Amino acid sequence: MLGGSRRDSVEYSAVIPFEEPGSLEIILDMVRAQEVRSVKVKVGRSRDLDTVMSVRRKLGEEISLRLDANGAWNSRDAIAKLKVLEGYGIDAIEQPVPKGDWQGLRAVSESVPIRVIADESVVSLEDARSLIAAGACGGFNLRISKCGGLLAALRIYGFARASGIPCQLGCQVGETGILSAAGRHFAARTPDLLFAEGSFNRYVLTEDIVREDLTFGARGRAPVLNFPGLGVTVDQTKLQQYCQDRVSCL
């Protein structure tokens, strides 16, 4: 249904959350040890400049660096802050303004040389059509769960690609191996993604509900899944431990 794999492995980005300086250094040491080649840094707080400087100092100039504001700024503040941060080699800024502010998104896109990627603003195929028609951004962040599943996300991807708008694969914080597997299949079939996020499993979960370990390894790489279905096996014992309610369907 999804088409054949276009690659043998997927290369994932690291995502740097909001952290105090001491904790940030620990995370950056982990990223450097894994030799991950692209990172996304959460911004939208008073320490943004210090954080970006720390990332560049610790990880070097070669690594691909992008930012994610999660709609924290208005367009005027976004433009002002990005004009300061662009000197640190920023490849993209994700959702700089609130999701409903498409005019603000377009204003940022037109005012800074950094690629503006829509995330919360693009949930459906109709959103994608409207954003492209408005010239509001230079890319989409597609999250499988946000966009309504694999087929819906692939439809948005196909329309965006035909319209000259590149996409990246996003993820949910703390997702289990089920959603990580879905993301892996998506990334394996979309060879021209800007970036891929996901498969953080062991890094953020104390345990998973699938038996397979989907955590990415050195350089952010993880193999394509070639087993039936999503390619993972749900551990029924662990599933029952976390189950909150049960419904029988006959």
Predicted local confidence at residue 248, as pLDDT: 86
Task: Give 10-residue mean pLDDT values along the chain (250 residues).
Answer: 87 92 91 95 94 96 97 98 97 97 97 98 98 97 97 97 97 94 96 95 94 96 93 94 88
Predicted local confidence at residue 156, as pLDDT: 98
CATH class of the domain whose range is 9-242? alpha beta
Predicted local confidence at residue 6, as pLDDT: 87
pLDDT, tens digit (0-9, with 9 covering 90-100), for 234-245: 999 999 999 998
Residue ranges of domains in the chain: 9-242
Predicted local confidence at residue 48, as pLDDT: 95
pLDDT, tens digit (0-9, with 9 covering 90-100), for 24-53: 999 999 999 999 999 999 999 999 999 999
The 3-state secondary structure of the chain, one letter per residue: CCCCCCCCEEECCEEECCCCHHHHHHHHHHHHHHCCCEEEEECCCCCHHHHHHHHHHHHCCCCEEEEECCCCCCHHHHHHHHHHHHHHCEEEEECCCCCCCHHHHHHHHHHCCCEEEECCCCCCHHHHHHHHHHCCCCEEEECCCCCCCHHHHHHHHHHHHHCCCCEEECCCCCCCHHHHHHHHHHHHCCCCCCCECCCCHHHHCCCCCECCCCCCCHHHEEECCCCCCCCCCECHHHHHHHCCCCCCCC
Predicted local confidence at residue 186, as pLDDT: 97
